[in-house]
Amino acid sequence: MPWVSGGNITGTTGRKLRIEGININLSQDTVHSLTGTIMYRTHVQDIGWTGWKTLGQYSGTSGRAKQVEAIEIKLTGQLATFYNIYYSSHIENYGWLGWASNGQTSGSTGISYRVEALRINLVRKGAPAPGSVANYYKNKPVYTPKPAALDVMSKNAQVRASSTRWLIMTDTSACQVGVYSGSYGNWSRVALWSCGPGKPSTPTVKGEFTIYGRGKSFGSRSYTCWYYTQFYGNYLFHSVLYNRGSMTQIQDGTLGKQVSHGCVRLDINNAKWLYDNIPNGTKVVIY
C-alpha cells in the first residue's frame, strides 16, 4: 500500500482483511535536526511480540498468512521531548479503538483479533490528542453466554453423579466450561468460562471422565501451558499458550473457538482455579 501521513488511514475497513506488517518512517521536514528516532514493534498471530524496528524497517511477516494483532510505537531522544506519537487500530469485532501513545499497546493480545487498519499522528507536546484516548487496547473477548446451550448444560448436569461435591461440564460446540457444586439432582453452577476445545481435525474426547492428575506446566521449546488438570490420558484442562517460560507473554490466547489439539484451553486464571480447587475423583462430562 502507498505511504500515508498525518493521521490518514493505512489498511482497510469493512472488508475483513488483515494487516500482516508495516513500515513506519519520519519526515525530515518534521524532525529537522532533533536527535532520536521512532521505534515500533508488532504482536503477530502465533508468534507474539516481534523485535523493535526503526525508520522504515519492516515489522511483521510476509507471505505467511499471519495477522498483526497489536502494535506499539515510541519516540526516543529529543523527539520524545518535543513530540507525542499517537496511533489507533481498527480491529476485528470492535472497529476503531481509542488513540494509544508513546509505547502503549494498541490493538489486542490473547484474543486473536486482526488489525485491519491503522492511523498514526505525530503531535507536539502540549497539543491535544487527535481523538479519544480511552479504550485503546483489548485483551479479553466480548463474551455473551448462549442461553440455549446453558439450559442444556444445566439439565445434563442434574442427571450426573460425582464422587466429590464438584462437577465439570464442557460443551465443545458452544466452547463453554461450567463448574457445578452440589450433588446428584441438586447441582448449582458456580462458574462459566469460555474455552478452546479441540478443533475438528483433533477433537476433544467426549464422554464421562474423572480428574486424576495435575501439574504446574508443560510445553516445548517454543511454548508453555500452565496449570493443567488431567481427566483422560493426555487430555487436559490447561491455560492458553504462552511464550516459553512466561506467564505474561501470550502466544495464542484464542478462546470461544475449537482451536486445540484435543485438550481444553482456558484463561490462565481459570486453569489455575481448577488446578487449586478441584480434587481428584471429580466427574468431568465432555459433550
| Angstrom distance (rounded) from CA 237 to CA 231 | 8
Of the residues 43, 175, 195, 238, only one is catalytic, namely 238
Write out pLDDT tens, residues 239-270: 999 999 998 888 999 999 999 999 999 999 99
pLDDT, the chain, mean = 92
247 shares a domain with 153: yes
What number of CA atoms fall less than 13 Å from residue 262's CA on the CB side? Answer: 10
Residue 102: pLDDT band (50, 70, 90) is very high
Write out pLDDT tens, residues 23-56: 999 887 767 778 999 999 999 998 889 999 999 8
Does 1 map to a domain? no
89 shares a domain with 220: no
Provide Rg for the chain, Cα atoms: 23
272 shares a domain with 196: yes
Q: Is 238 a catalytic residue?
A: yes
192 shares a domain with 82: no
Cell of 107: 490493538
Give the domain-ending residue among 86, 118, 138.
138
239 shares a domain with 153: yes
Query: Quick one: pLDDT at residue 144?
Result: 53
Does 125 map to a domain? yes
* CATH number of the domain within which 252 lies: 2.40.440.10
Query: Quick one: pLDDT at residue 149?
Result: 64
Whether 20 shows a pLDDT value over 70: the answer reads yes
Does 202 map to a domain? yes
Residue 39 lies in domain:
9-138
**Dihedral (Cα; 46, 101, 10, 68), 10-degree rounding:** 0
Residue type, 11: G
Give the domain-ending residue among 138, 164, 198.
138
Of the residues 175, 195, 225, 263, only one is catalytic, namely 263
Does 4 map to a domain? no
134 shares a domain with 151: no
| Angstrom distance (rounded) from CA 211 to CA 195 | 18
Give the domain-ending residue among 104, 138, 172.
138
Whether 110 shows a pLDDT value over 80: the answer reads no
| Number of domains comprising the chain | 2
Q: Is 263 a catalytic residue?
A: yes
